[in-house]
Structure 1
Amino acid sequence: MEAGSPLEDALQSIDRGVLVPEFALHENTPSGTRYRRVSRDDRDQRDEWEKHVYSNESLIIEINGLPLDEALPEGTGRGRWTSSSTMPGLIARMIEAFDLSESTRVLEIGTGSGYNPAVLSHLIGSVHLTSIDVSPRLVSRATARLKSLGYAPTTAAFDGHKGYPESAPYDRIIGTTAFPFVPAAWLGQVNDGGIILTNLAGMAGGAMLKLHTGPDGAEGRFLDDWAGFIPARHEAQPEQAEIDDEEEGDTHTSFLGAEVFDDQKSAFLAQLVLGTSRVARILREDGSALLLIEDRDGSRAEVDTESDGEGFTCSQVGPRRLWSDLEDSYRWWVEQGRPSWSSFGVTVTPDEQYVWHGSPTSGRRWRLAPTV
């Protein structure tokens, strides 16, 4: 970011504290994640609030789909955070990759606290910005706080998977939530020559993707700098297929264990293979750990997290052998020198979308399977 640039001016001019009057800090405990609400209005917490809200860090603003005053009425509690105010440094990196001008029409997916909409409004003017979020409460509060700062973009409570056709077409779409595929609705809402910037990610891993749109779809590469966002939510979640408990599966000893998810590069590869699958580490009754992977098509893999000396015991059932597919791609990845996400790209057409390595016309591909 250049000194004295419009972006630097925007970041210095906007008071993040107005948009984030409270947030939650978290700590991991043996019984799960514990949250503690920190508020500007609590005199005893004012110094702590200022320290975090004016630092380059992401701040939790919603838990279990509820604003913090409802999620943590007693000041502390447990749950799963569902929205955060993005760290200013990441906002700057994304906007620098976005090629904005004062007349650029932008759709932002993920209003959140309103901080990113404030920066964008400062740069392009509120009239050119539409910002949506699946959470009506977040949209309502962010809209009021943006207005107090003099910004009035179009805002709406809307499922980001659908884009926002009411204000289309756009020159840019920016997603500040994570999607395991590029929502098909976006293609029809961006002008040719436009840009889509989003976090293509799922429960395994992901990276930031920059697509250039054209008459036949969109194509582009993953950015060099890694970033991650909270998964986007649907208004209604797609149903999980039933797993046939009578179906005979298979068991084998795998050379690959749960550590594949511990490195950002190999986790990115795992995401290409696993797509919309759910990934969880659970404990058996005997205290041993198990990696459980379930896909919406009914495929399931269970992998021991501890080696028996020969490898990791893996059991699989369903229409796909999820872990075997990952083993195959992992072997290829090692043979290629363990390439980073920036050597991969994505092609999106009205009929299909896939990730490719090296070139969109040759080399290995992984299909991205939309669920809506």
Structure 2
Amino acid sequence: MSVEWEHHAQRLARQVTDPDSRWLGAVAGVPRHELVPRWWERDGDGGWRLRNGADDPGGWMEAAYTDRSLITRVGTLHADHAEAGDRPEGLPTSSATLPSLVVRMLRHGRLGDGLDLLDLGTGAGGLTAYAARRLGARHVTSLDVDPYLTSAAADRLAPMGLRPRFLALDATEEIPGTYDRIIATVGMPPGPGLRPMLGALREGGRLVTTIARTTMILTGWRQPDGAVVGRIERDWAGFMLTRSGNDYPPALAGLFALAREADGERTGTGRYPVVNVDDAWEVRSMLEVTTPGIETDYENSGRTRTAYLVHPDGSWARASAERTRPPTVHQSGPQRLWDTVERIRTWLLSEGGLPLYGADARVTPDGVIRLTRGRWADTMGAP
């Protein structure tokens, strides 16, 4: 289907880049709508409904050239393979990332002519397209665990004259080749899952990645000893977790069921109003540093707010209250998860901020992340 897209792309480029940006031409020169012919949107009942661009060209242009993320896959069902009446369940597992965030990640990469880039997390292919447009496709490799995503992106970029290399692999297991720059637009897990990425980065190369279940962007340079030394940027990004299969592992459904219904081992009153932990980015990031592996959920009926936390060790918590009143808190298991959240919030309020953003970071060759800022220090991914 032929549509006039150039003025939409030019408007988007002006919105997400500066007038003198080297990325302005790349964004303006990519027909983003061709990367996202179908996508999922939330319906009024909290489920998902399919949008087909060809059925509504005006809506397609608006969605594709607005600075927003478009969900392309929910659970195991890609929008490209869905029927109009399908209602997938589960978490989003792929998307076309909002262009302003793509440009920010590219800027963090300090890209230049002649440098080889690995785009880790192909998704819909937006970052791959922008990078190939500016650097030349021969310098760009794009990797995703989902072979359909790499195949679809390759098919859609080729008519644009862009033919980067695509790899369908699990990045936590293997990454062939070496690169001057690696930009990961999936949340990478600290520890052994980082080893292939670190091994694929050339000495003197630059890494840009987010850390799983946080909004922290870690950037750094690879040292002769194989470590990456850098910092947590004073910037943030939320990306989906990296996955090793067709879908994320099953959620801790049994613990979430307990958290929703049970009284627990301890009932008390919380100090602060209920917060959606996933939207409180500093709190969520620090929670992953101090108590890695927590999963969260949140409900807001308009009057009552309820937050749920569960942990693989069997701990769970539920905090519920009307609006901003102190919540009733139920907790059980080896850890008191809501108490941990409240300690972090106290730290945030008393200090005016948490020490994460701007912290120095060192990633050892075995994937352990050591964070320091002033007298504060912590470690992620240690055995």
Q: Same fold (TM over 0.5)?
A: yes
SS in 1 for 2:43: strand
Unaligned runs of 5+ in 1: none
Matched, 1:279 2:296: yes
| TM-score normalised by length of structure 1 | 0.81
Matched, 1:37 2:54: no
SS in 2 for 1:224: strand
Q: 1:127 to 1:38 in 2, by over 3 A?
A: same
Q: Please tell me the residue identity of whatever aligns with 2:371.
A: W
Q: Distance in 1 between matches of 2:218 and 2:154?
A: 28
Q: Percent identity over the alignment?
A: 24
Q: Distance in 1 between matches of 2:103 and 2:229?
A: 23
Matched, 1:342 2:357: yes
Match of 2:329 in 1: 313
Instruction: Please show how residues 195-274 of structure 1 align to structure 2 within 5 Å.
Output: 195-202=206-213, 205-214=214-223, 215-235=225-245, 253-256=269-272, 258-259=274-275, 261=277, 262-274=279-291
SS in 1 for 2:87: strand
Q: Distance in 2 between matches of 1:77 and 1:309?
A: 36
Distance apart, 1:273 and its partner CA? 2.6
Distance apart, 1:99 and its partner CA? 0.8
Match of 1:7 in 2: 23
Q: 1:217 to 1:51 in 2, by over 3 A?
A: same
Match of 1:156 in 2: 167
Q: Residues 119 and 142 of structure 2 are in contact (CA less than 8 Å); yes or no, is this contact kept in structure 1?
A: yes
Match of 2:380 in 1: 368
Distance apart, 1:253 and its partner CA? 4.4
Match of 1:191 in 2: 202
Distance apart, 1:12 and its partner CA? 1.3
Match of 2:14 in 1: none
Aligned length: 350
Distance apart, 1:209 and its partner CA? 2.2
Q: Please tell me the residue identity of whatever aligns with 2:31.
A: D
Distance apart, 1:155 and its partner CA? 0.6
Match of 1:63 in 2: 74
What CA deviation, in whole Å up to 9, does each residue of 1:221-274 have, x standing for no partner?
22223321222222286788998x9xx955554435641624333233223233
- Residue of structure 1 aligned with 2:96, choices 85, 95, 99: 85
SS in 1 for 2:321: coil
Q: Distance in 1 between matches of 2:345 and 2:58?
A: 48
Distance apart, 1:340 and its partner CA? 6.8
Q: Please tell me the residue identity of whatever aligns with 1:207.
A: M
Q: Residues 50 and 79 of structure 2 are in contact (CA less than 8 Å); yes or no, is this contact kept in structure 1?
A: no
| TM-score normalised by length of structure 2 | 0.79
- Residue of structure 2 aligned with 1:332, choices 341, 344, 347: 347
Q: Distance in 1 between matches of 2:251 and 2:298?
A: 19
What CA deviation, in whole Å up to 9, does each residue of 1:191-228 have, x standing for no partner?
222221122241xx423222222125123222223321
Q: 1:228 to 1:175 in 2, by over 3 A?
A: same
Match of 1:123 in 2: 134
Q: Distance in 2 between matches of 1:6 and 1:309?
A: 49
Runs of 4 or more above 6 Å deviation: 238-243, 307-310
Q: 1:148 to 1:370 in 2, by over 3 A?
A: farther
Q: Residues 67 and 138 of structure 1 are in contact (CA less than 8 Å); yes or no, is this contact kept in structure 2?
A: no
Q: 1:316 to 1:213 in 2, by over 3 A?
A: farther
Q: Distance in 1 between matches of 2:371 and 2:339?
A: 20
Q: Residues 140 and 165 of structure 2 are in contact (CA less than 8 Å); yes or no, is this contact kept in structure 1?
A: yes
Q: Residues 195 and 366 of structure 2 are in contact (CA less than 8 Å); yes or no, is this contact kept in structure 1?
A: no
Unaligned runs of 5+ in 2: 1-16, 259-263
